[in-house]
């Protein structure tokens, strides 16, 4: 059994860390690099930065943030939002990112996944999928949950894997920011459909949500935001509870 990764997700609208509900109604929380440094000191396994408005304005504004964070944070950093080309990805990787998350550009040009994987390796390519339930299936959204793509989430996950994505960051837009728990059915459907790691994102409010999405939802990693940003839970406490419940996490 692989080690369960605990990931801090930081959504950014430069220069601020932000948090909303269903990816909307965003609150400014402060300097994202300061939060990242605190989570690193507390023992988080990875950091994910997502520029929430990059695709909307067709820009990438988190290069300096990644560079600044990488000077003090020595765990894997994933950066996403506004990456539309191999060159754009390379800028972020040179700034200190270990992985690149792509969503909007990939839905518009799926071959970008293959190009990134061929250039940097699949381990660097994270397919970010924002999923919303549509009656009997889930549809992939882009532009931070604002735009429909018409893509079925399960089919898109499989296609992304075939094109070379090394893992999937799966965000339930319906659950995001609600603290009501991850979408277990969605996570399990995607995790069981692909052979690459799936990061569950959106909805954590208490430890039981984490254990359920791992044990029942088959997630390989969990992304957390609200519970960390608002100090509802601490990373050492979450890790201790995970160990006590037999989850394979890195020891405190």
Residues marked active site are found at 11, 130
Q: CB-hemisphere CA count at 13 Å for 95?
A: 23
Cα separation, 58 vs 108, whole angstroms? 13
Residue 46 bridge partners (DSSP): 7
Nearest to 36 by CA among 11, 61, 5: 11
96 within 8 A of 69, measured Cβ to Cβ: yes
Half-sphere exposure of 167 (CA within 13 A, CB side): 17
Measure the CA dihedral 50/52/56/62, to 10°: -50
Nearest to 208 by CA among 171, 245, 173, 249: 245
Residues pairing with 7 in the sheet: 46, 223
């Amino acid at each position: 059994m692989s080690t369960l990764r605990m990931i801090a997700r930081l959504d950014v609208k430069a220069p601020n860390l932000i948090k909303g509900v269903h990816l909307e109604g965003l609150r400014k929380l402060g300097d994202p690099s300061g939060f990242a440094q605190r989570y690193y000191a507390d023992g988080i396994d990875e950091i994910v930065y997502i520029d929430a408005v990059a695709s909307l304005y067709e820009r990438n504004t988190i290069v300096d943030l990644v560079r600044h964070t990488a000077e003090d944070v020595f765990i894997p950093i994933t950066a996403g939002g506004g990456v539309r080309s191999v060159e754009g990805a390379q800028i972020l990787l040179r700034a200190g990112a270990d992985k690149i998350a792509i969503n909007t550009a990939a839905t518009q040009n799926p071959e970008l996944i293959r190009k990134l994987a061929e250039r940097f390796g699949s381990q660097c390519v994270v397919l970010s999928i924002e999923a919303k339930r549509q009656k009997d299936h889930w549809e992939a959204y882009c532009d931070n949950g604002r735009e429909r793509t018409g893509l079925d989430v399960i089919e898109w996950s499989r296609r992304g894997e075939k094109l070379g994505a090394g893992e999937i960051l799966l965000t339930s837009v319906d659950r995001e920011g609600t603290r009501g728990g991850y979408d277990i059915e969605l996570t399990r459907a995607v995790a069981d459909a692909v052979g690459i790691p799936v990061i569950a994102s959106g909805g954590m409010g208490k430890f039981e949500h984490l254990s359920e999405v791992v044990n029942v939802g088959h997630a390989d990693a969990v992304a957390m935001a609200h519970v960390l940003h608002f100090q509802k839970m601490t990373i050492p406490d979450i890790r201790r509870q995970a160990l006590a419940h037999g989850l394979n996490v890195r020891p405190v």
